[in-house]
Structure 1
Amino acid sequence: MIVFEFKVKAKLTQYAAIDEAIRTAQFVQNKCLRYWMDNQGINKYDLNKYCSVLAKEFSFASELNSQARQASAERAWSAISRFYENCRNKTKGKKGFPKFKKNCRSVEYKTSGWKLSENRKAIAFTDKKGIGRLNLKGTYDLNFYQLGQIKRVRLVRRADGYYVQFAVKTDVQIKTQPTGRAIGLDLGIKYFLADSNGHTEESPKFYRQSEKQLNRANRKKSKKYRKGAKPQSKNYHKARKRYARKHLRVSRQRKEYCKRVAYSVIQSNDLVAYEDLNVKGLVRNRHLSKSISDAGWSTFRQWLEYFGHKYGKVTVAVPPHYTSQDCPKCHHRVKKSLSQRTHVCDNCGYVEDRDIAASLNILQKGLSTVGHTGTYAWGDTPSWSVGTILLANGESEKKVSPAF
């Protein structure tokens, strides 16, 4: 599965119709969640059937395409099934009980409710929401694919406009010549990554560079906010959109940087070992959470695994325990604080940069892991694995290609 994204050019009335479709999809998803909470033993198929009940009860719900309603029900079931899985696996901490959505940003269609133009440069939505024909602006050519290969179409609202995403079922794997090289990667804050060859990549710190501008835009937005006023003024919404566009620019910079570095690493090596970091747990550290979020470790891993799958390279996620403490030469454990940036082994006398020493340990673990546990440590499902449900936050769930 690969995702192509195009920007939409339309009239103001069409944008309003898209917003109405998104609100309806959110309504159906929340209703399905409430139906599950009020009735025991509900499964995925019961939620799909409940969509037709909602269509009969609410006229605005019947205006949305039937398969789009089912896709919203599947989103609700995705959250429910994840909650069940966490309970069965006895996941530590909160189990992720499904929550009602307050601000959805997308509506998803399956194989009906839309029609592409002959030149594949426009799409028309045929349900009763009144979206109509939308012109597609982008460089991708959909003429290379059959209509039957397009499994999902999604309308996404972002800070800088509206987008259409096409989930196309196709084989993206490309055969390449082996390089005969293996590498270990240590992700960090001081350096974005340090590899086992002694190379370090400086962290770009996109958020830190834009933080003053973001704070200034946030203050301007806050000054225009009037407590208790419903609705807020037009100037407030203009300031809010300016602030959101600045954040969107930072996130895109980070994604493109991670994509470029991951592509370079995969093209240069046959095996890439990296730490299986629990980023969600690490950001709970209030002293480092901003720097960790700014580094984009999860985004980098997603692109690394995708390019590894696409070009037939081995990517191994290894346990991160003691990779920064153990000596890569004699495996003697040398305890050190975060402020200590140089590894000095008191057993064998080996001296090396802390991050490079960690990358050597990661490579050793990766080479030993491949022989008996498979490509991915602990048998975890990689982030590129194919899924059919596209999430409401503008990203795809377990897809081959991250959203372009």
Structure 2
Amino acid sequence: MAPSQASHVPSLDNLIKSFNSQSLEASIESLIFLLKRRQVKGDECAKATAHILRQVVAKSKWRDVDELLSRVQSVGSRLVRSAPLEPVIGNVVRRVLGLIRDEANEDRNADDIGSEAASDIQSLTPSTTPQPPRPRPTPIRPSPSVLSSGLTVSKSMFNLLSVKAPSESPVTGASTPLSQAQPASVHALRSEVMDGIEEILDEINQADDQIAGFSDIQIHPGDYVLAYQPSRTVERFLVKAASKRRFTVIIASLESPSPGSSELSYAALRKKLNAAGVNTINLASNGLMAYIPRVNKVIFSAKAVYQNGGLLVDSGSCVAAQAAREYLKPVIVLCPVYKFCPEDPSDEVSRGELGSPGSYVSYANGSAVDALDVENTVTDYIPPDLVDVYLTNL
């Protein structure tokens, strides 16, 4: 059932707060409704998915690891089906499933080691001659926070992909049952998994700032940088670079000022860059080719990076990437690791998502509408050969 306030679009913060006051099923249905209407999209999908899965772990009733995995997979599949063109939802679900398995394996290994130590003590009690201790079992799966080199790293999609079991499903992350790996305390596992999801949320929230930390390496003094429809990630990247460099930013977009309005697109970004001493040029996408020979590099963000290296981006970014390739200009893509997908793009992704053409064609003239077939492409797919640098928070 759709939420009663269908016409009201809550902010992400208000939506997350409502999860605590609603029942679990009502929270899930509310998020699915907003995902279907595309009122929650982009980076908001990753945060909302992590929060709703945290509610699943906290509020749902489960007695062992298999029941918890089944519950998370069921809710995750419903979220993925409600927004099939938002790959970050599936990525976050895989992250949480991998987290649960890792915590269960750690608890099982700890219990095995404890039982081995107890048996060693009992074997030494009746006899005065000490017996050599039995070898301890080696963990089946390494901890996601410690690599073989001993370096501590954050739990990320990169690490999960590197240790994924061969039998794991690429869609739901399903693998062999862990009924033999039940922890001694369900409450302890619940707490550990919820803490792990909080770490995932912290990584999502900090990803843009971490990517921006590399801006002074990629942008040099005097550069002309083309930012095509800059997202929040690109905006923070440029503002961070402006605090250390003096360069020129060409902001290209499909949007144009509304009739009677003098405000240009991305006015807030222009104001921040100008205050830092960086010159900005507002450019319509149809004038892109005239400025490409002067540009030193092209920067935009991706909605997802697929296994083959291809990108899901905003509409028009593929034209900018092709123009940069013709003039041998480097293309830099900013993308956090939680947007990396362990699957190849589907045919639907390659064709691009279609949106409403109402902003380009007026329906007031009925005869013109009947004579035209207008398609408004919302997303594009960029093949990997058009990209030079993938810059992540790692």
After TM superposition, is the score higher than 0.5? no
Q: Radius of gyration: which is bigger?
A: 2
Q: How high is the TM-score relative to the length of structure 2?
A: 0.25
Q: How high is the TM-score relative to the length of structure 1?
A: 0.25
Comparing both structures, which one devotes a greater share of its residues to strand?
1
